């Protein structure tokens, strides 16, 4: 179930939703005993929330008549944005948060003024989300635990499945969690390798928070670190080529494709890692510029195969 604080808040939510509720009903709903329910009621009263109780074996609780928490003060645009953001969690691989999302939206609907509830309904009824086939789902607990560890500067331990499908035990000092390329990445100092490393959170299991603490380097820039190294993380092929395209045009053309770009003469040098060469080769061909492939040899073979297929398609009689 939930932790004690969340149970206290759930108690308040139940009391707001009903005119009267018995202690036994609260105990069953919260999965606690009657004495614990009484402690939650005391806690609510300490927060100046007027909970009234009727005595006796069949006693019940209610909020003082006329008492309601004030409406949540959001603009129409803020309510729409909040609803949109909650429903878009699955677009970044966090579908595991779906029950929490529905619960949060339900609570929002109860505390928002009637005029703003239409914004929540608009997102639900009108806006459609189509998850990308490239999104890698991730356990919500992994994100929650690592984010907590980063905030409190605690080490974490976990089992990690590498790109080669070998498992190792790691202990790291986590610096940052970033979402890019439809995946969540954890960056930190690996104590086993004595170096900064990048881990895909969806490959992490048995994640545990350590009691040991650490101090994060003040000069560490997680976004810059990932931008410089992500193109080469866990890939079967390391690509290195030059394309006859000004670097500004190259940045616009390859902005979404995890590529390191450097200006070279009047063109651009591209370097990145890839598991599948066919798709990236097709992207390169769509640019329609002269290229010189330095590595790997397999990319040249891929271009030859695509050229043969293109020739066959071009010569096919109508």
Instruction: Tell me the longest C-alpha to C-alpha distance in the chain.
Output: 91
Residues 188 and 211 in one domain: yes
Whether the predicted pLDDT of 137 surpasses 90: no
Could you tell me the CATH number of the domain that includes residue 250? 3.30.70
CA dihedral 165, 203, 188, 164 (to 10 degrees): 10
- Asked whether residue 300 falls in the same domain as residue 255, the answer is yes
Residue 275 lies in a domain: yes
User: Would you state the torsion angle of the CA atoms of residues 245, 248, 250, 253, taken in this order, to the nearest 10 degrees?
Assistant: -130
Q: Specify the pLDDT at position 1.
A: 46
Residue 132 in this model has a pLDDT that exceeds 60? no
Residue 56 lies in a domain: yes
The rounded distance, in Å, linking the Cα atoms of 63 and 46 is 14
Residue 227, SS3 per DSSP:
helix
Share of the chain above pLDDT 70, in %: 79
Residue range 107-119: mean pLDDT, rounded = 69
- Please, are residues 51 and 45 in contact by the beta-carbon 8 Å criterion? yes
For residues 151 and 205, membership in a common domain is answered with yes
pLDDT digits (tens, 9 = 90+) for 210-240: 999 999 888 888 878 877 766 556 667 888 9
DSSP 239-293: EEEEESS-HHHHHHHHTTS--EEEEETTEEEEEEEES-HHHHHHHHHHH---EEE
Whether residue 148 sits in one domain with residue 111: no
**CATH for 40:** 1.10.10.10
Both tokens assigned to 74: 């959001």
Q: Where residue 159 sits, what CATH number does that domain have?
A: 2.30.30.520
| Residue 132 counted as domain residue | no
Better pLDDT: 62 or 129: 62
Nearest to 183 by CA among 92, 108, 106: 92
Name the region of 138 (left: φ>0; alpha: ψ -120 to 50; beta: rest): beta
Is residue 134 in a domain? no
Residue (of 296, 301, 242, 290) closest to 274 by Cα position: 296
Domain containing 117 equals 76-126
> Are 158 and 189 within one domain?
yes
Identify the domain boundary among 209, 230, 251.
230
Residue 286 to residue 83: CA distance in whole angstroms: 38
pLDDT tens profile 52-70: 888 766 678 888 876 766 6
68 within a domain of the structure (yes/no): no
Grade residue 154 by pLDDT with cuts at 50, 70 and 90. very high
Mean pLDDT computed over every residue of the chain: 81
Find the range with the poorest average confidence among 17-26, 28-37, 133-142, 282-291: 133-142
Dist CA 216 CA 177 (whole Å) = 13
Q: Is the pLDDT of residue 299 over 70?
A: yes
Q: How far apart are alpha carbons 237 and 295 in whole angstroms?
A: 9
Report percent pLDDT > 90 for the chain: 20
Q: What is the pTM of this model?
A: 0.55
Classify the C-alpha dihedral 217-144-10-105 as positive or negative: positive
Q: Is the pLDDT of residue 48 over 90?
A: no
* Number of domains within the chain: 4
More confident residue, 156 or 144: 156
Task: Please name the helix (run of DSSP H) or strand (run of DSSP E) that holds residue 179, with its range, or none.
Answer: strand 167-180
Compute the average pLDDT of residues 228-255: 80
CA 138 – CA 225 distance, rounded (Å): 22
């Amino acid at each position: 179930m939930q932790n004690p604080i969340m149970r206290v808040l759930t108690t308040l939510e139940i009391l707001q939703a009903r005119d009267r509720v018995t202690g036994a009903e609260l105990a069953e709903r919260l999965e606690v005993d009657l004495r614990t329910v009484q402690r939650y009621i005391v806690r609510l009263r300490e927060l100046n929330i007027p909970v009234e109780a009727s005595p006796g074996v069949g006693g019940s609780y209610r909020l003082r008549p006329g008492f309601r928490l004030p409406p949540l003060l959001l603009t129409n645009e803020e309510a729409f944005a909040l609803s949109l953001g909650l429903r878009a969690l699955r677009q970044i691989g966090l579908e595991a948060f779906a029950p929490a999302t529905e619960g949060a939206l339900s609570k929002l609907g109860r505390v928002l003024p009637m005029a703003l509830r239409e914004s929540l309904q608009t997102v639900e009824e009108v806006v459609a989300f189509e998850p990308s086939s490239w999104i890698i789902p991730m356990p919500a607990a992994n994100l929650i635990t690592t984010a907590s560890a980063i905030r409190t500067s605690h080490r974490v331990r976990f089992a990690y499945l590498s790109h080669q499908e070998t498992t190792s035990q790691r202990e790291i000092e986590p610096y940052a969690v970033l979402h890019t390329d439809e995946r969540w990445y954890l960056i930190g100092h690996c104590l086993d390798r004595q170096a900064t490393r990048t881990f895909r959170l969806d490959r992490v299991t048995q994640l545990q928070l350590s009691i040991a603490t650490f101090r994060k380097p003040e000069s560490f820039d997680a976004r810059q670190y990932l931008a410089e190294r992500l193109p080469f993380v866990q890939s079967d092929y390391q690509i290195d080529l030059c394309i006859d395209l000004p670097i500004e045009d190259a940045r616009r053309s390859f902005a979404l494709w995890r590529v390191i770009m450097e200006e070279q003469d009047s063109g651009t040098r591209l370097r990145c890692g890839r598991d599948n060469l066919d798709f990236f080769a097709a992207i390169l061909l769509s640019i329609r510029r002269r290229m010189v492939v330095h590595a790997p040899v397999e990319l040249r073979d891929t271009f030859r195969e695509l050229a043969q297929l293109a020739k066959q398609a071009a010569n096919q009689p109508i």
